[in-house]
Amino acid sequence: MNFTEAKNYTENTGSAGIIPGTDVIKELLGRLDNPEKELKVIHVAGTNGKGSICSYLEYALSECGLNVGRYASPSVFDFLERIKIGLRNITEEEYAEAVTVVRKATEGMEIPPTGFEAETAAAFWFFKNKKTDVAIVECGMGGQDDATNVFDSPLATVFASISMDHMRFLGSTPEEIAVNKAGIMRRNTPAIISKMPHVFCDGKDYDPAGILEREAGEKGAVCIRTEEEIIPEGFVNPLSASYQNDNLNTALWTLRILEGTLAKSFPGKSITSDTFMAGAAKTRHPGRFEKLSVSPVIIRDGAHNPGAARALKEALDSDATLPIDKKIHLIMGVFKDKDYKEILRIMLPGTVSFTAIDLPDPVRGLPKEELCDAVLEISEELYGKGAEVPETEHIGKADCLKDALSDTNNAGPEDVYVVFGSLSLMQLFGDL
C-alpha cells in the first residue's frame, strides 16, 4: 500500500465506531510476534492533560539521547503526528509500510480490527522496528478496555486529571470513569497520579485521585501521589497556562521515579535530573492555551469538557501577561456529545461576546445555531429570564473561523479572543 491507501485502510477498516475491549488487538499483535512485549513503555491515561504530560516526557527523554517513540490518537494538526519517533512525525512511507504489515497480519481474522486497533498495532510494530528505547503511549479513551491496554510490565502508568467525558463508554460517574482508567495499572509497577480537583456530579463530591489510589492498592501497583511540587525554583514552564504546572510536575515525578531504571538500562546516556529539565524547557505542545498573537491577543485551546474548561478559565483569570482590564471574546465549536452546557456555565461569566462556529465534522459537531440557543438558555439560567451574559455586546454565529476572527482587525489593546471547544478546531487555523 502507498500512504493514501494505508490512511484509507486505518480510517475505514473493521466495524464502524468504537468497540471497547482488547481481545482483537491482542490477537492481531500475536500475529505480529507481539512487538509490544519488546517495548519499554510509559502508559498515560486521563481526561485532561495527558497530551501535555506526554510532551514533557518526550522532550525530556529525548534530551537524554534516547530514541523516544510517542503514540497518541487522534491527531490534531497533522494526520502523521499520531505516531512519532525522535521528536518527528512518522513519514508517509513509514506509515504505509507499517500499515501494510498489519493489514497482511489481519488476513484470516474472524473479527477484523477497528481502524484504531490496526493503527495501534502499526505503531507498536513501528517502534519495535525502529529500536525505540522508550515508547510513550496515550490511551485513546479510558483505560481498561482501550486498545493500548496490552502491556504486561510498563515502566510506569501515569494518570492525568480526570473529568466527565466519554460517559457513554466509560461510566456515568467520576468514580466509574476513574476505575476504568485505572485498568492500565499493573502489579509492582509505579502508578503516578497527578494532582487533580474533586469532581461534583449529581450532588455528590468525588475525589478521582483518591479513587485511583484505592485502585492502585487493590491492584498491587506502587502508588505515587504528586501533590508535592518538585519543579525547580526559577524554572520557566514553556507551556504558559497555569494548569500546565500540574502536568509538568507529574512528568517530573515520573522521570524521578524512573531515573534509576533508565540509567541502568542505558548506561551510555545522560539520564540525570539536569538533562530532564533541559529537555522539558524545550517542550512544545500546540493547541493548549497557545497564544497566536499578542496584539490583539488570540488564544487557542482545545478545552472540550468541563474539567478542561475550568482549567482554561483559571488560566485566563491568572495569566499576568494578559491585559488587566481584558475583554474576553469567546469563539466556540463543540461536538454534540460533549457537556457543552456545563462548559458554557463555566466560560460565559465575564465575557463580552460569544461567537458559535461549526466543527469540520458535520456529523458529530453541534450546529452553531443550537450552540447559540444553548448560550441564551444558560444566560437565563445564570442571570434571569430574558437576560444575556452581563455586558455582552454580541451573541452570534459565523460561517467559518476566519469570519469569527474578523473583528480582531478593529480590536483594542484590552481585547482577548479565545478559540476553544474542540481540538478539531485547531486545524482550522491553517486555513486563515
pTM of this structure = 0.92
State residue 58's pLDDT score.
98
Range 84-110 average pLDDT: 97
Pair (274, 306) in one structural domain: no
Range 197-210 average pLDDT: 90
Pair (341, 263) in one structural domain: no
Of 222, 246, 280, which closes a domain?
Answer: 280
316 has a pLDDT exceeding 70: yes
Hey, is 158 helix, strand or coil?
strand
Burial class, 228, CB count within 10 angstroms (exposed 0-12 / middle 13-18 / buried 19+): exposed
**Measured distance CA(27)–CA(247) in Å, rounded:** 34
Looking up residue 269, the CATH number of its domain turns out to be 3.40.1190.10
Hey, is 267 helix, strand or coil?
coil
Number of domains, the chain: 2
Q: Which residue has the higher pLDDT, 390 or 2?
A: 2
Domain for residue 353, yes or no?
A: yes
Domain for residue 285, yes or no?
A: no
Q: Where are the beta strands (DSSP E) in 162-225?
A: 190-193, 199-201, 204-206, 222-225
Helix %, strand %, coil % for the chain, to 5?
A: 40, 15, 40
**176 Cβ neighbours under 8 A, 6+ residues apart:** 170
Q: Which domain holds residue 305?
A: 290-431
Pair (52, 102) in one structural domain: yes
State residue 117's pLDDT score.
95
Pair (267, 362) in one structural domain: no
232 has a pLDDT exceeding 90: yes
Pair (44, 163) in one structural domain: yes
Domain for residue 193, yes or no?
A: yes
State residue 390's pLDDT score.
46
State residue 336's pLDDT score.
92
Pair (309, 260) in one structural domain: no
State residue 201's pLDDT score.
82
Domain for residue 202, yes or no?
A: yes
Mean pLDDT of the chain: 92
Range 172-200 average pLDDT: 93
Pair (144, 206) in one structural domain: yes
Q: Kindly indicate the confidence band of residue 181, based on its pLDDT and cuts at 50, 70 and 90.
A: very high
State residue 76's pLDDT score.
86
Contact 93, 83 (CB under 8 A): no
Of 244, 260, 280, which closes a domain?
Answer: 280
Pair (305, 240) in one structural domain: no
Pair (239, 365) in one structural domain: no
Pair (74, 125) in one structural domain: yes
Domain for residue 227, yes or no?
A: yes
Pair (267, 380) in one structural domain: no
Pair (144, 167) in one structural domain: yes
Cis previous bond, 367, omega within 30: no
**Measured distance CA(255)–CA(260) in Å, rounded:** 9
Looking up residue 312, the CATH number of its domain turns out to be 3.90.190.20
State residue 391's pLDDT score.
47
19 has a pLDDT exceeding 80: no
Tens digit of each residue's pLDDT (9 = 90 or more) over 26-65: 999 999 999 999 999 999 999 889 999 999 999 999 999 9
